[in-house]
Amino acid sequence: MSASITSNPGFNASTAAEEVAAVLSSHIAGKTILVTGVTPGGLGAHFAKVVAAHKPKLLILAGRSVPKAAETARELEAAHPGVATRTLELDLGSQAQIRKAAAEVLSWPEPIDVLVNNAGIMATPYGKTVDGIESQFGTNHIGHFLFTNLIMPKLLESKQGPRVVNVSSNGHRLSDIRWDDFNFQDGKTYNKWLAYGQSKTANILFSVGLAQRLGSKGLKAFSLHPGTIMTNLGRSATQEDFEALQALDSGFGEFKFRNLSQGTATHVVAAFDPKLDEHNGAYLQDCQPAPDEDLKPHAVDKNSAARLWKLSEELVGQRFDV
């Protein structure tokens, strides 16, 4: 029987990341893995901690705060002596800084085998990146779009089947891409949940676009919904904000919270399960490709993926041709 999670119905919403990683251990060992958003206590840091137990070649911890990334690195090294770590300053709200970070990655000798675009913000008050893009769309999507494409040469150097994982959310159901007004009339019509939904739809469409454009070169790309987890991600949202969310879309129903280990289990599947090679571009939840009823058509439309790629290129001022 294959040691693949997607063929094992025993793995589900309550499965721990440690359990998944134990099954996929041989697919973690020896790989160089770059994770964005690694603040202690968050999903990215916990994912890195789980992976560190299975002999990766190198864990690269990227975040806006170098001291916080260094704290996570120290925690990993204390728990798993001998694990190799490296920190990288990455501010997804600044295209100039993203370019500087990417140049640093390109200067390193190692290929990147797995990139996990985990960093993000949620339901923040209206704001813009330094480049003038609404902050949730700019940080959650545009920043990762630019960083991923700039370091693509390092991913394509991998001899172990390079992967990109974009952490999305079931919040994608809240909004399609606002093609003619992604900045909400410069904040005049801003709704923090619609903005979050737009950015999460973009994460899924970016994975679809990567699979379309670079699948022939061996790249696999996936997006995922980790579940509802109490982390610092929701620090800007109040109880009233969550009530407004449920009023906006009753389909969310009652929130069922998961712990960090359950929340990162699907990260591990997306990053390492070889069975997913047959599902390039897929959106995952509960350690499985999501059922159709949990995925809004606007988030997987191939024409929309191509349109978003073009819009993203315009917003970063650079084309990324295959």
Nearest of 1, 17, 8, 13 to residue 271 by alpha carbon:
17
How far is Cα 248 from Cα 139, in angstroms, rounded to an integer? 23
Looking at residue 134, what DSSP letter applies? B
Looking at residue 123, what DSSP letter applies? S
How far is Cα 153 from Cα 261, in angstroms, rounded to an integer? 32
Cβ-based neighbour number of residue 273 at 10 Å: 27
Any bridge partners for residue 58, and if so which? 32
Any bridge partners for residue 257, and if so which? 228
- Residue 70's Cβ-count burial label (10 Å; 0-12, 13-18, 19+) is middle
Q: Which residues are catalytic?
A: 190
Which residue is associated with the tokens 């119905």? 9
How far is Cα 18 from Cα 184, in angstroms, rounded to an integer? 41
